[in-house]
Chain A
Amino acid sequence: MTVENNEPIDNELNSKFKLFSPSRVMAIAMNTFTQLVRMKVFYFLLIFSVLIIGANVLFLNFTFEQELKILQDVSFGAMTLFASIFSIVGTALLIPKDIEDRTLYSILTKPVPRFEYLIGKLLGILFLVAVSLVLMSILFFAVLFFRQHGILAEEINQMRGQPTAEQISSLKENIFAQGLRLELINGVVAVFLKAAVAAAIALVVSTFASSTLFTIIVSLVIYFIGHAQSMALDYYFPEGDMHGAFQRFIAGIVAIIFPNLQIFNVVDGIVSGQSVPMSLMFRLTGLTGFYLFIYSFVSWVLFAKKEL
């Protein structure tokens, strides 16, 4: 076969090649997901189960409001913690591991653009976080469902005499208002959105980091600054009262570069019984999409130039 004879084949291949292929991205995402599952990450579910069952059993001497609140606090706390750890550590591990296993080279020598590889990796992580949160939510909601019914039965037993239907219905309404309700799903979604932003941050860091440890530490620091930035700005510069040019500059840098992760903290209010309007949830989702886009883009810019 001569060189001239190869030209039509190359042209044919080039014409078939798409700049962006969702199927290629999905293949990488699913591969990432499988890779992480093989790391036995789902063992955390055992810890989560022990935590929420423990929270359910240990606080029986409290009022039902306290008991249900503690159960929700522990569950949401654990969900936030696990989701954030998965996002940051999982993302930090992926690229170095692919380099170490030389998987990265075999992927990039194929007609896979680098940004597809990055998006695939990010989607794989997000898929893992989503599956974890769904599993944790099922466990959490099941425990909450059984506990609220248990509390109702206990409260009825403790009532003097035969309770009237009105009393039972009022009690049920009070208990269930603190228990399993649709609003909790918004809390889980908010936890996922924050974890998604954390994963995107870790992706940016991992593209220029020299080690996994560095990625994890830097990502955690950014994660913390992201939580504290709006409060720090409010605290140091109340009502926009900037004290000097330098302070103004620092405050500006912090506000511009770091994401405001505090806006995803709606769980505290949800547990208190407040409701998040759907418009606000859409706003948070939109903002997450915006962050993911920016950080993926920056990751690609950094990763595109990276010598492998």
Chain B
Amino acid sequence: MSLAILVVFGFLKIPFESQTEQKLKDKGFRDWVPNMSAREQLTQASFIGAIGGFRSLVASIYDLRAHEAFRDKDWGSVERFRKVTTSLQPRFAKHWDLAAWDMAWNAYAYYRSKSEFSDDDLELWRIEKMIMPSYLEKGLSFAKEGAKWTPESYRLPMVIGDIYAQKYNNPKLASEWYFKSSQAKDAPSYIYRAYATQLAKCVGMEEEAYKVVSNLYNGGKVRTLTLRRDMERLEAYFVNKLVQSNSINELKEMVKKENSNYIIYDAIATHYLGEENNISLAVNAYRELVKNPKAPDFYRRKFALLIARDPANEERAYGLLKNMYLSTPQIFRRVDLIELKKIESNLNIPLNEKLIKSDASR
């Protein structure tokens, strides 16, 4: 009788259970499949634990084991344990992030330092040509797989961008992944800046990069040193392009038509400094340029350094530079600091009043 009741109700419950199971699958609660490969990866106790509703706890235990293996520099085990944690909880972005980090940074750096101490050429070749690239690939592969599992998170696309930027030195791919990462809802603002930085490094994409960088420079809340340098470098690129493709008369015509385009003034000044070496005409061009409120503040530095080329105006220029240095030191590049040091030396500025006390070129 009891068995009959169980069977009758059992038939009734099956569709309801199946629907619930399907809904859980649709919502991503059934990502882990306890197949043969999972059984081989886990110990028996862990496998039972994972089936019995402690999957997250088992993943954390394997995370600790991976950490332990990392401390022992046992990279094979680190990889194995990271595979377990990521397969048990694929929607936890940090598992993928740590796996990618352990492979592409920690294992890679370990073998790089090992190669530095190796005297055996064959061993060195093996490490540099086989082991190190393979760990980079593994890190990248973890990160790409993680990005598929966590499409809503900024984290894994950012890690992929980091690997392309810092390990493969591929700014184009890095910028693409940083951009993808920056579009996520939870993305911090620095990722879009990283995108701009990588884009600014891409040869042939200067116009696109300039749009992004100038938008950030003019509209962003944070004006980082990198952003300032990228802005200056990209503007210098467009100035050189203008100088190379236009005569001075054409530039003068252009500035009449586009008076607000301060870059043309810089092109005129560059032209005077390059072909004619006429500092006073270049100074005049810069004088017009710095009147433009849209001109970035590094043009004021360029202007003051240009004035300082004339010994008669050096002291006045130093006064301007000093004020600039004290208010916005970020606009001074290393090469500018060397110039500033020279000016201080020419003017015999006492040591205690010098702005640049140490070797600026360091």
A positions within 8 Å CB-CB of B: 59, 62-63, 65-66, 69-70, 72-74, 76-77, 80, 164, 166, 170, 173-174, 177, 194, 204, 224, 227-228, 230-231, 234-235, 255-257, 259-269, 271-274, 276-277, 280, 283-284, 286-287, 290-291, 294, 297-298, 301-302
* Nearest-CB residue, chain B, relative to A70: B60
- Closest residue on chain A to residue B67 by CB atoms: A62
B60 touching A260 by the CB < 8 A rule? Answer: no
Whether A76 pairs with B17 at a CB distance below 8 angstroms is: no
Known A166-B189, A277-B27, A283-B23; judge A268-B89 contact (CB<8 A): yes
Q: A64 CB to closest chain B CB, in angstroms?
A: 10
Question: Is the contact region of chain A dominated by helix, strand, or loop, or is it mixed?
Answer: helix
Known: A62-B67, A256-B11, A266-B29. A294 touches B21 (CB 8 A): no
Report yes or no: B7 in contact with A74, Cβ–Cβ below 8 A.
Answer: no
Asked if A260 and B21 make an inter-chain contact with CB atoms under 8 angstroms apart, the answer reads yes
Given contacts A276-B27, A294-B5, A297-B5, contact A265 B55 (CB under 8 A): yes
Assess A227 versus B52: contact at CB under 8 Å? Given A255-B14, A272-B91, A273-B92. yes
CA distance A70 to B53 in the complex (A): 15
Nearest residue (CB) in B for A255 is B14
B106 shortest CB reach to chain A, Å? 14
Task: Flag if B94 contacts A63 (CB, 8 Å).
Answer: yes
Whether A76 pairs with B34 at a CB distance below 8 angstroms is no
A155 to chain B, nearest CB (A): 13
Residue in B6, B67, B188 with the greatest tally of chain A CB atoms within 10 Å:
B6
A59 vs B64: C-alpha distance in the bound complex, in angstroms? Answer: 9
- A-B pairs, top 9 by smallest CB distance, nearest first, are A256-B10, A272-B92, A77-B57, A268-B56, A65-B94, A73-B57, A269-B29, A268-B55, A294-B9
Given A269-B29, A283-B19, A287-B17: 10 more A-B contacts, CB < 8 Å? A73-B56, A74-B57, A256-B14, A257-B10, A269-B27, A269-B28, A274-B29, A276-B27, A280-B23, A280-B27
What B residues does A294 contact at CB under 8 A? 5-6, 9, 13
Beta-carbon nearest neighbor of A78 in chain B: B57
Chain B: minimal CB distance from A206 (Å):
13
Instruction: Give the shortest distance, in Å, between B194 (CB) and chain A (any CB).
Output: 15
* Contact A287–B60 (Cβ < 8 Å): no
Task: From the candidates B2, B35, B92, name the one contacting A298 in the complex (CB within 8 A).
Answer: B2
Q: Can you give 22 contacting A-B residue pairs, CB < 8 Å? A: A62-B67, A66-B94, A170-B188, A173-B186, A235-B34, A255-B14, A263-B20, A265-B55, A267-B56, A268-B55, A269-B28, A273-B92, A274-B27, A280-B20, A286-B16, A287-B13, A287-B17, A294-B5, A294-B6, A297-B5, A301-B1, A301-B2
Evaluate contact between A265 and B11: CB separation under 8 angstroms.
no
Please report the C-alpha to C-alpha distance between residue A301 and residue B20 in the assembled complex, in whole angstroms. Answer: 29
Q: Is the CB of A69 within 8 A of B2?
A: no
A73 and B33: CB pair below 8 A?
A: no
CB-CB under 8 A from A257, the residues of chain B are 6-7, 10
Bitwise interface map of B from 20 to 45 toward A, beta carbon under 8 Å scored 1, else 0: 11011001110011110000000000
Task: Determine the chain A residues whose CB is within 8 A of the CB of B16 once the complex forms.
Answer: 286-287, 290
The residues of A that contact B27 with a CB separation of less than 8 Å are: 269, 274, 276-277, 280
- Report the Cα distance A80→B55, complex, angstroms: 12
Q: Is B254 interfacial (CB-CB < 8 Å)?
A: no
Q: How large is the interface on B (under 10, 10 to 19, 20 to 34, 35 or more residues)?
A: 35 or more
Contact between B63 and A66 (Cβ–Cβ < 8 Å)?
A: yes
How far is it, in angstroms, between the C-alpha of A266 and the C-alpha of B23 when the chains are bound?
A: 12
> Given A69-B94, A73-B57, A294-B9, A228 and B51 touching (CB < 8 A)?
yes
Chain B hits for A262, CB < 8 A? 21, 51, 53
- Chain B contacts of A271 at CB under 8 A? 56, 89, 92
Partner of B5, one of A74, A276, A298: A298
Bound-state CA distance A76–B28 (Å) is 19
B32 proximity list for chain A (CB < 8 A): 268
A74 to B188, CA, bound (A): 30
Bound CA–CA A77/B59 (angstroms): 12
Q: Are A287 and B53 in contact (CB under 8 A)?
A: no
Residues of B within 8 A of A297 (CB): 5
A294→B10 CA distance, assembly (Å): 9
Residue on A nearest B152 in the bound complex, by CB: A273
- Residue of chain A at shortest CB distance from B61: A73
CA distance A261 to B52 in the complex (A): 9
Expressed in whole angstroms, the Cα–Cα distance for A70 and B94 within the complex equals 12
Give Cα A264 to B6, complex, Å. 20
Closest to A187 in B: B56
> Is B221 at the interface (CB under 8 A from chain A)?
yes
Residues of A contacting B14 with CB < 8 Å?
255-256
CB neighbours (8 Å) of B64 from chain A are 59, 70
B44 to chain A, nearest CB (A): 13
Give, as a whole number of angstroms, the nearest-CB distance from B327 to chain A. 18
Whether A256 contacts B23 by the Cβ 8 Å rule is no
